[in-house]
């Protein structure tokens, strides 16, 4: 493997959700640790599943992986990091400053901006902490899906420049109070990230058009902020030897080869490795050790056939979504499970039934237009673009708050609005604006992968608490975005997953997080099921067999309503193929 040659101290695995970053990062960490290297595996994903992969609890402290000598792991928990950050700032002033001032500081530190800064603070500390750098030969970062990662990697320069210019002393005063002390740490982090002798960026993709295009965009964005030496790993490619007489396998292989042939030019010069599709679930040490080693395909187990109950079609779920003819429908789940595809198919079906539909996304790496590849009456499509929304928010604030300020005041306000915190506020406002439309039409929202969505919901919850506090002693009727999300007559959340161990566990965790926020998921959809597609290839048949336990887990333990979408022979792109997802059959399967 080219990406494993002459490895520097820092390795970053990044890419579109669902391409296998976590599996590759874990397998690489184990391989290096088995060779006697001291390795720290770090997840920067707000919805990390590294602990699930190893079958242990890791959390927000460096934890030895007992089963693997020389390996430790850490999951950066944004909420825990935010609490530590708040305590570090508020603790020293308690009993020193008036209670009202302390309360005001704590209030300023309650939002999503603080969460982002705190997680970022931990991330840069790993790049610069002398003790950690001494204790570990390699630090491997399993990052959040691409859009969130690009944002994280831009932050050292953004915050460093922001502080260098002497900004940040207005509305972000609370969250930024601790940043000034970290100026040297941020400069050192920028130096480490931009040095190819110390840092290697590994783009992970599938042999699919969408993930390769995403990798190309990521390549350009990373190059623009200093990461010019990048490696490419094509993960989970179906070996030609598995095609045989299996029509599904043949279609998948041809589809993958066509995607590779059409690979964006910018990726062609990158050092590239191929990791073949494996027949086993990538959970547990034996599977992870086998991932980077060539091996034979396992035989299909000889146990008694397992029957899947007949399942409802996606069309029947849409019948239940229609309700009063309007409302908010949100697809949520781990990256790469097909949220965008399912959201587009549902929006298309509702529009074809004559309803007005607004299809939108909060995913920074969304591909709605590419997925639809066409237009339909009654259907409008949009995207919450963080850059565009930030500029819109800046202009609105300058036009309102800056209207009566003098030149010095306007200059100070402009500086404050250049803070990276501003983007979080702007995206939340765009989210709130769009979901208000659900009172008159259908709004179908394709959300960002789980971790990023939870941060957005955290901002929604913070706003909800603030509004309720201010309106406590008034008789004015009001509805916050969180109250809309909690209203099951208005909002229906669809959890999208794959019939694999890690996606189902993460989806179950997402459901718990939503329930704690008072949001009840309406249905689960299992996407790209091999069990329902009935392959004959030995490798695909083994993977199909492995799905059965997860499908039964969803049906019997987690979901009130559920549906299964079979793996499609053709990539579900374009109006016709999306309609096939809705109306295609999902027969009972036996293996």
Q: What is the CATH number of the domain that holds 240?
A: 3.40.50.300
Pair (215, 336) in one structural domain: no
pLDDT of residue 143: 79
List the catalytic residues.
Answer: 18, 20-23, 45, 502
Domain finish residue from 258, 291, 324: 291
**In-domain check, residue 324:** yes
Domain finish residue from 291, 322, 338: 291
Pair (257, 148) in one structural domain: yes
**In-domain check, residue 461:** yes
Q: Find the helix or strand (DSSP H, E) in which 390 lies.
A: helix 386-400
Pair (329, 267) in one structural domain: no
Pair (134, 237) in one structural domain: yes
Pair (284, 419) in one structural domain: no
Sequence-separated (6 or more) residues with CB below 8 Å from residue 385: none
Pair (157, 243) in one structural domain: yes
What is the spatial distance between Cα 548 and Cα 545, in angstroms, rounded to a whole number? Answer: 6
pLDDT in tens, the chain (591 residues): 899 999 999 998 988 778 888 899 999 999 999 999 999 999 877 666 787 778 788 878 899 999 999 999 998 876 777 777 778 777 877 887 788 777 776 766 665 566 666 766 777 788 888 899 999 999 999 876 444 444 445 554 554 454 455 444 434 434 444 555 566 676 777 778 778 899 898 999 999 988 898 899 888 887 877 777 899 999 999 999 999 889 999 999 999 999 999 999 999 999 999 999 998 888 888 889 999 986 544 444 444 444 565 777 788 888 899 988 999 999 998 878 999 899 999 999 999 999 999 999 877 666 777 788 777 889 999 888 888 888 988 898 899 888 888 888 888 778 777 765 677 778 778 888 888 899 899 999 998 765 556 656 666 666 556 666 665 666 665 567 778 888 888 999 999 999 998 889 889 988 998 898 888 999 999 999 998 888 889 899 889 989 988 999 999 999 999 999 999 988 888 888 888 888 864 433 334
What is the spatial distance between Cα 539 and Cα 518, in angstroms, rounded to a whole number? Answer: 42
Pair (211, 341) in one structural domain: no
Pair (62, 142) in one structural domain: yes
**In-domain check, residue 120:** no
**In-domain check, residue 104:** no
**Strand-by-strand arrangement of the 10-14 sheet:** 63-64, 71-75, 39-43, 138-142, 10-14, 199-205, 230-237, 272-276
pLDDT of residue 175: 44
Count up the domains in the chain and report the number: 2
pLDDT of residue 297: 46
pTM: predicted TM-score of the whole model, two decimal places: 0.77
What is the spatial distance between Cα 426 and Cα 449, in angstroms, rounded to a whole number? Answer: 19
Pair (282, 323) in one structural domain: no
**In-domain check, residue 304:** no
**In-domain check, residue 96:** no
Pair (244, 343) in one structural domain: no
What is the spatial distance between Cα 417 and Cα 215, in angstroms, rounded to a whole number? Answer: 31
Note every long-range contact of 409-412, with CB atoms under 8 Å and residues 24 or more positions apart, other chains counting: 412/169, 412/170
pLDDT of residue 46: 62
Answer for the pair 349, 315: CB distance below 8 angstroms, yes or no: yes
Residues 91-108 as b or e (16 or more Cβ within 10 Å = b): eeeeeeeeeeebeebeeb
pLDDT of residue 266: 93
Q: Measuring CA to CA, which residue among 588, 532, 567 is closest to residue 249?
A: 567
**In-domain check, residue 103:** no
Domain finish residue from 260, 291, 322: 291
**In-domain check, residue 416:** yes
Pair (223, 343) in one structural domain: no
Q: Find the helix or strand (DSSP H, E) in which 192 lies.
A: helix 183-193
- Residue 437 belongs to domain spanning: 314-583
Q: Measuring CA to CA, which residue among 229, 228, 249 is closest to residue 240?
A: 249
Pair (464, 505) in one structural domain: yes
């Amino acid at each position: 493997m080219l990406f494993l040659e002459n490895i520097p101290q820092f390795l970053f695995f990044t890419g579109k959700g669902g391409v296998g970053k976590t599996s590759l990062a874990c397998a690489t960490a184990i391989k290096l640790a088995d060779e006697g290297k001291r390795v720290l595996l770090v997840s920067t994903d707000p919805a990390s599943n590294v602990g699930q992969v190893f079958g242990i609890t890791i959390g927000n402290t460096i934890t030895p992986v007992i089963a693997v000598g020389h390996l430790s792991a850490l999951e950066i928990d944004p909420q825990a990091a935010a609490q530590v950050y708040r305590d570090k700032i508020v603790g020293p002033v308690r009993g020193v400053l008036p209670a009202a001032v302390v309360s005001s500081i704590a209030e300023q530190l309650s939002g999503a901006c603080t969460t982002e800064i705190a997680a970022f603070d931990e991330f840069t500390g790993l790049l610069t902490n002398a003790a950690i750098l001494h204790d570990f030969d390699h630090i491997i970062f399993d990052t959040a899906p691409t859009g969130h990662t690009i944002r994280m990697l831009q932050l050292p320069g953004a915050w460093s420049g922001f502080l260098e210019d002497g900004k940040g002393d207005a509305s972000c005063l609370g969250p930024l109070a601790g940043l000034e002390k970290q100026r040297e740490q941020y400069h050192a982090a920028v130096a480490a990230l931009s040095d190819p002798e110390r840092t290697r960026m590994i783009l992970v993709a599938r042999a699919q058009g969408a993930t390769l295009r995403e990798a190309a965009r990521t390549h350009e964005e990373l190059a623009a902020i200093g990461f010019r030496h990048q490696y490419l790993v094509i993960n989970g490619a179906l070996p030609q030897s598995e095609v045989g007489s299996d029509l599904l396998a043949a279609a998948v292989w041809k589809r993958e080869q066509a995607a590779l042939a059409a690979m964006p030019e910018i990726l062609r010069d990158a050092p590239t490795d191929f990791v073949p599709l494996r027949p086993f679930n990538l959970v547990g040490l034996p599977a992870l050790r086998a991932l980077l080693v060539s091996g034979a395909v396992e035989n299909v187990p000889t146990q008694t056939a397992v029957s899947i109950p007949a399942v409802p079609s996606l069309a029947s779920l849409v019948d239940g979504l229609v309700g009063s003819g309007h409302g908010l429908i949100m697809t949520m789940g781990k990256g790469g499970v097909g949220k965008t595809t399912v959201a587009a198919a549902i929006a298309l079906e509702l529009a074809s039934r004559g309803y007005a539909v607004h299809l939108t996304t909060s995913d920074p790496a969304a591909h709605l237009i590419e997925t639809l590849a066409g237009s339909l009456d009654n259907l409008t499509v949009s995207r919450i673009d963080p850059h565009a929304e930030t500029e819109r928010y800046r202009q609105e604030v300058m036009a309102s708050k800056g209207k009566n300020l003098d030149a010095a005041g306007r200059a100070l306000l402009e500086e404050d609005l250049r803070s990276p915190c501003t983007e979080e506020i702007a995206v939340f406002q765009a989210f709130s604006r769009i979901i208000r439309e659900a009172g008159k039409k259908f709004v179908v929202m394709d959300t960002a992968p789980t971790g990023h969505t939870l941060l957005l919901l955290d901002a929604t919850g913070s706003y909800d608490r603030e509004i309720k506090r201010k309106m406590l002693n008034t008789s004015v009727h009001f509805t916050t975005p969180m109250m809309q999300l909690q209203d099951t007559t208005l909002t229906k959340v669809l959890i999208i997953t794959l019939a694999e161990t890690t996606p189902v566990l993460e989806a179950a965790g997402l459901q718990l997080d939503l329930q704690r926020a008072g949001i009840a998921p309406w249905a689960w959809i299992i996407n790209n099921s091999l069990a329902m597609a009935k392959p004959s290839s030995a490798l695909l048949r083994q993977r199909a067999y492995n799905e059965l336990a997860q499908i039964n887990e969803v049906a019997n333990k987690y979901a009130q309503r559920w549906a299964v979408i079979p793996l499609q022979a053709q990539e579900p792109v374009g109006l016709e193929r999306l309609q096939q997802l809705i109306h295609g059959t999902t027969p009972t399967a036996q293996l």
